[in-house]
Structure 1
Amino acid sequence: MFNSRRGALLAAVCVAGLGCAAPAFAETLAEAIALAYDSNPTLQAQRASQRALDESYVQARTGYRPTLSASVQGNYEENRTPGGRLVNGVRVFGPIEGNSGSAGFTLSQPLYTGGRTAAAVSAAEADILTGRENLRRVESQVLANVITAYVDTRRDIEALRIRQENVRVLERQLEESKARFDVGEITRTDVAQSEARLAAAQFQLSQAQSQLAISRANYAAVVGQNPGDLAPEPSLGALLPTDVAQAFDAAETSSPQIRGAEYAQQASRARLAGARAERMPSLALRGTVGWNGQADPLETEDYARNIQGSAVLTVPLFTGGLTNSRVRAQIERNNADRIGVETARRTVLQGLTQSWSQLIAARANIGSSDEQVRAARIAAEGTRQEQQVGLRTTLDVLNAEQELRAAELAQVSARRDEYVAATNVLAQMGRLEAPNLTPAVTRYDPKTNFSKLRFTWGWVPWEEPIAIVDGVLTPKPAEKPMEAAPTAPK
Structure 2
Amino acid sequence: MLKRSRALASVALIAVVTGLSAPAWAETLQEAIALAYQTNPSLLAQRANQRALDESIVQARAGLRPQLDITVSGNLSQDFGDQNNVPFADPYSDSASASIGLSQTIWSGGRIGHGITAAEADILAGRENLRDIEQSVLAAVIQAYADVIRDTEVLGIRQANLGVLQRQLEEASARFEVGEITRTDVAQSEARLAQSEADLANAQAQLSVSRASYAAVVGQSPGDLAPMPVLPGVPTDFDNALDVALQDNPGVRSAAYSLRAAEANVAAAKAEYLPSARLSASYGGSNQDFDRIGDIADSTRLTAGATLSIPLFTGGLNGSRVAQALERANVAQINVEGERRNTLQSVSSAFAQAISARASLEAGAEAVRAATVAAEGVRQEAQVGLRTTLDVLNQELELRSAEVTLAAARRNEYVAQANLLAAMGRLEGADLDPTLTLYNPVDNYQRVRNRGALPWDGIVETIDRILAPPIVPANDAVDAPIDQQLKSEIVQTAPRN
What TM-score do you get using the length of structure 2 for normalisation? 0.90
- Local SS of the residue matching 1:297: helix
- Letter of the 2:102 partner, please give it: L
Aligned equivalent of 1:301: 296
CA gap of 1:481–1:369, structure 2 versus 1, over 3 A, is farther
- Local SS of the residue matching 1:377: helix
- Give 1:70-89 correspondences, 5 Å limit: 70-81=70-81
Q: Identify which of 248, 260, 269 aligns with 1:254.
A: 248
Cα separation, 1, equivalents of 2:440 and 2:19: 44
Cα separation, 2, equivalents of 1:19 and 1:246: 45
Shift of the alpha carbon at 1:34?
Answer: 0.5
Query: Is 1:447 matched up with 2:422?
Result: no
Cα separation, 1, equivalents of 2:257 and 2:87: 76
Query: Is 1:122 matched up with 2:117?
Result: yes
CA gap of 1:471–1:16, structure 2 versus 1, over 3 A, is farther
Cα separation, 2, equivalents of 1:95 and 1:397: 120
Cα separation, 2, equivalents of 1:372 and 1:407: 6
CA gap of 1:302–1:70, structure 2 versus 1, over 3 A, is closer
- Local SS of the residue matching 1:337: helix
CA gap of 1:93–1:318, structure 2 versus 1, over 3 A, is closer
The sequence identity of aligned pairs, in percent, is 51
Query: Is 1:273 matched up with 2:243?
Result: no
- Give 1:233-382 correspondences, 5 Å limit: 233-236=228-231, 238-299=232-293, 300-382=295-377
Q: Choose 466-475 or 101-110, whichever is displaced more.
A: 466-475
- For 1:101-154, what per-residue CA distance to the aligned partner results, in whole angstroms no more than 9, with x for missing partners? 000001000000111111111110000000000000000000000000000000
Q: After the TM superposition, which parts of structure 1 deviate over 3 Å for at least 4 consecutive aligned residues?
A: 13-21, 82-85, 91-95, 472-477, 479-482
What 5-or-longer segments of structure 1 have no aligned partner?
1-12, 86-90, 486-490
Cα separation, 2, equivalents of 1:469 and 1:394: 93
Cα separation, 2, equivalents of 1:103 and 1:234: 73
Q: Tell me if structure 2 keeps the 8 A contact 1:84–1:93.
A: no
Cα separation, 1, equivalents of 2:14 and 2:390: 36
Shift of the alpha carbon at 1:74?
Answer: 1.0
Query: Is 1:134 matched up with 2:136?
Result: no
Q: Tell me if structure 2 keeps the 8 A contact 1:104–1:288.
A: yes
Cα separation, 2, equivalents of 1:70 and 1:14: 74
Query: Is 1:393 matched up with 2:388?
Result: yes
Q: Tell me if structure 1 keeps the 8 A contact 2:128–2:251.
A: yes
Shift of the alpha carbon at 1:468?
Answer: 1.1
Shift of the alpha carbon at 1:95?
Answer: 6.8
- Give 1:418-429 correspondences, 5 Å limit: 418-429=413-424
Shift of the alpha carbon at 1:261?
Answer: 0.5
- Letter of the 2:271 partner, please give it: A
- Local SS of the residue matching 2:220: coil
Aligned equivalent of 1:28: 28
- Letter of the 2:108 partner, please give it: T
Q: Tell me if structure 2 keeps the 8 A contact 1:81–1:95.
A: no
Aligned equivalent of 1:158: 153
Aligned equivalent of 1:200: 195
Q: Tell me if structure 1 keeps the 8 A contact 2:26–2:223.
A: yes
Query: Is 1:433 matched up with 2:428?
Result: yes
CA gap of 1:104–1:403, structure 2 versus 1, over 3 A, is same
- For 1:420-468, what per-residue CA distance to the aligned partner results, in whole angstroms no more than 9, with x for missing partners? 0000000000000011101110111111111112321x21111211101
Cα separation, 1, equivalents of 2:88 and 2:282: 41
Aligned equivalent of 2:46: 46
- Letter of the 1:253 partner, please give it: Q
Aligned equivalent of 2:474: none
Cα separation, 2, equivalents of 1:400 and 1:92: 119
Cα separation, 2, equivalents of 1:173 and 1:302: 110
CA gap of 1:361–1:16, structure 2 versus 1, over 3 A, is farther
Aligned equivalent of 1:4: none
Aligned equivalent of 2:56: 56
CA gap of 1:94–1:193, structure 2 versus 1, over 3 A, is farther
Cα separation, 2, equivalents of 1:207 and 1:454: 56
Aligned equivalent of 2:66: 66
- Give 1:178-193 correspondences, 5 Å limit: 178-193=173-188
- Letter of the 1:316 partner, please give it: P
Aligned equivalent of 2:162: 167
- For 1:228-274, what per-residue CA distance to the aligned partner results, in whole angstroms no more than 9, with x for missing partners? 000011101x4112301110111111100100010010010011111
Q: Tell me if structure 2 keeps the 8 A contact 1:83–1:93.
A: no
- Give 1:392-411 correspondences, 5 Å limit: 392-411=387-406
Q: Choose 432-441 or 73-82, whichever is displaced more.
A: 73-82
CA gap of 1:132–1:454, structure 2 versus 1, over 3 A, is same
Give the number of aligned pairs: 465
What 5-or-longer segments of structure 2 have no aligned partner?
1-12, 472-481
Q: Tell me if structure 2 keeps the 8 A contact 1:383–1:396.
A: yes
CA gap of 1:206–1:68, structure 2 versus 1, over 3 A, is same
Q: Choose 364-373 or 94-103, whichever is displaced more.
A: 94-103
Query: Is 1:98 matched up with 2:56?
Result: no
Cα separation, 2, equivalents of 1:94 and 1:109: 47
Cα separation, 2, equivalents of 1:422 and 1:21: 31
